[in-house]
Amino acid sequence: MAYEVHDACGVFGVWGVPDAALMAYWGIFSLQHRGQESAGIATWVPGTGGAGRIEVHKGMGLVSEVLSPEQEAARPGSVAIGHVRYSTQGSSSLANAQPLVMDSRYGQLALAHNGNLVNAAALRAELARAGAVFQGDSDSELLAHLVARSGHAGLEDALKAALARLEGGFAFVVLSDAGLFGARDPAGLRPLVLGQLPDGQWVLASESCALDIGGARLVREVEPGELVRIGPQGLDSDRFAPPVPAAACSFEYIYFARADSRLGDRSAYVYRRELGRMLAREAPAEADVVVGVPDSSLPQAMGYAQELGLDYDLGLVKNRYIARTFIAPSQSERESGVQLKVSAVPEVVAGKRVVLVDDSLVRGTTSRFIVQLLRQAGAREVHMRIASPPYRHPCHYGIDTSRDQELLAARLPLEAVREAVGADSLAYLSLEGLTTVLGGAGFCTACFGGRYPVPVPGRSGVPAAGVVH
């Protein structure tokens, strides 16, 4: 099966504030965990006599490397959108950095998106046949071309028609002289929330943590299949697709969202602590101390320890100034990256039976290294506990994982995974345990169970054969 470009990203949009670009800067700064490859901000610069134009600043790297608050504070315009991008190697280029700016019959548009379309290849071929010329390989460009080619008189109808043709996981923010638009895929796979500033202006963001910094309060999620339009009239809501069963990404709860972001009625942190508690009930270990892989797995480790009345301690410390290792292009780079990222504290683990809790195990690079690290620091036993189910199927909706053959649990039975990571015992949270903590149905768990809520061309939806657990 062809491997598609995956964009796990963060988006932000604000309308009607004097320092829109600066607010977008702090917004995407707070979403940095969602993407470290490129960053950008587009603003609508008003012109004389009502005319205006879009101005974009973007580049490869972290928000603080590409943009500066001083420069953004000096930009005119009261509307802005921002984007951080995180993609697989191969698709990494400035042409894919967002926001993307395009001229259309509706005037200039700037688009930023998070997610992955499962019908991107089909749409791209169709548009290319019709004469579309692509600058990069991002899904935003597909939407822009669909909008540009729509026969509708107004931008809002053109957007609705174009969005209705998209299949997969997506959250878009679109900037135009007709206002700021936000849209979320019909299953709600990718997140998008609406916030409001104390003076009533609306803000759109991938996660609520990006609202807090500008003083906005979380109002609600953009509904799956909803198109919101924010402008001088306030906020209008419309649907571009009929309702389908909800399938919010469970991996946002497990790992992706920042711990202080609100997901539904609770913060991601609280869900993660509960995942740890559930894991402890399902797979207790006889141990002296519980240690989490910093930083993303500390709430799970704490919950695990609390549930069993075990000691929780910081047996691993993290070097804060290292970029993520997960998307490094080669296995050796990933391994040396993990080595630079964490080290063990011998006083905490020496001579002890250690439970090592991680939020997920994908390729196993992190676990293998950390188990070894704990042993070198004197741990007597290392019991690995994963606070999510075995990750066996690639995500096609916008979370960058890896190909089928790289997913350790897809290739190997449990005992062989344990051996590969070198732990004394290994257990995962069950799929039932995960859905119980999340509160029942309405979530995508395709990467664990293989049931893709939105059909993926070329994938049967049947879990990998021959794996016994």
**What binding mask, one character per residue, do residues 377-396 give for ligand SF4 by CB under 6 A, x or -?**
------------------x-
Choose from ligand SF4, ligand AMP, none: what does 189 bind? Cβ within 5-8 Å by kind. Answer: ligand SF4
260 in Cβ contact with 267 (< 8 Å): yes
- CA dist 37 and 8 (Å) reads 10
Burial annotation 94-107 (CB, 10 A radius, 16+ → b, else e):
eebbbbbbbebebe
98 in Cβ contact with 171 (< 8 Å): no
What contacts 50, CB < 8 A, 6 or more positions away? none
Minimum gap (Å) between residue 208 Cβ and ligand AMP? 20
Minimum gap (Å) between residue 342 Cβ and ligand SF4? 24
In the window 239-258, what residues touch ligand SF4 (CB under 6 A)? 249-251
- Any known ligand binding at 359? yes
**What binding mask, one character per residue, do residues 136-175 give for ligand SF4 by CB under 6 A, x or -?**
---------------------------------x------
183 in Cβ contact with 222 (< 8 Å): yes
Q: Using the rule CB under 6 A, is 183 a contact of ligand SF4?
A: no
What contacts 361, CB < 8 A, 6 or more positions away? 367, 384, 386, 390, 391, 408, 409, 417, 421, 428
Q: Using the rule CB under 6 A, is 275 a contact of ligand SF4?
A: no
- Any known ligand binding at 358? yes
- CA dist 453 and 246 (Å) reads 9
- CA dist 358 and 429 (Å) reads 11
22: left (phi over 0), alpha (psi -120 to 50) or beta: alpha
User: Measured from the CB atom, is 172 or 251 closer to ligand SF4?
Assistant: 251
Known catalytic membership, residue 9: yes
User: Measured from the CB atom, is 197 or 409 closer to ligand AMP?
Assistant: 409
**What binding mask, one character per residue, do residues 279-318 give for ligand AMP by CB under 6 A, x or -?**
--------------x--x----------------------
CA distances from 74 to 9, 69, 288, 296 (A): 26, 9, 56, 36
Among 172, 240, 397, 428, binds ligand SF4 (CB under 6 A): 397
Choose from ligand SF4, ligand AMP, none: what does 363 bind? Cβ within 5-8 Å by kind. Answer: ligand AMP
Q: Using the rule CB under 6 A, is 4 a contact of ligand AMP?
A: no
The DSSP letter of residue 206 is: S
> Which span (57-65, 327-335, 415-423, 440-448) binds ligand SF4, by CB under 6 A?
440-448
- Any known ligand binding at 209? no
- Any known ligand binding at 424? no
Nearest residue to the partner ligand SF4, using Cβ? 395
- Coil/strand/helix, residue 204: strand
User: Measured from the CB atom, is 417 or 437 closer to ligand AMP?
Assistant: 417
285 in Cβ contact with 262 (< 8 Å): no
Residue in the structure block whose two tokens are 């991938």: 206
Residue 145: how many CA atoms within 13 Å on its side-chain side?
22
Q: Using the rule CB under 6 A, is 96 a contact of ligand AMP?
A: no
Q: Using the rule CB under 6 A, is 445 a contact of ligand SF4?
A: yes
Minimum gap (Å) between residue 435 Cβ and ligand SF4? 11
Among 170, 181, 253, 255, binds ligand AMP (CB under 6 A): 255
Choose from ligand SF4, ligand AMP, none: what does 444 bind? Cβ within 5-8 Å by kind. Answer: ligand SF4
User: Measured from the CB atom, is 251 or 269 closer to ligand SF4?
Assistant: 251
CA distances from 202 to 53, 185, 195, 198, 220 (A): 21, 20, 6, 10, 11
Helix and strand totals (H; E) in the chain:
17, 24
Catalytic residue among 5, 8, 9, 80: 9
- Any known ligand binding at 332? no
Vertex 248, ends 114 and 122: CA angle to 5°?
Answer: 50
Residue in the structure block whose two tokens are 């320092």: 19
- SS3 string, 323-363, reads CCCCCCCCHHHHHHHHHHHEEECHHHHCCCEEEEEECCCCC
In the window 350-389, what residues touch ligand AMP (CB under 6 A)? 358-367
- Any known ligand binding at 137? no
Q: Using the rule CB under 6 A, is 446 a contact of ligand SF4?
A: yes
The DSSP letter of residue 87 is: B
Among 155, 384, 410, 444, binds ligand SF4 (CB under 6 A): 444
Q: Using the rule CB under 6 A, is 266 a contact of ligand AMP?
A: no
Binding residues (CB under 6 A) for ligand AMP: these are: 255, 293, 296, 324, 326, 358-367, 399-401
- Residues that are catalytic: 9
Binding residues (CB under 6 A) for ligand SF4: these are: 169, 189, 249-251, 395, 397, 399, 444-447
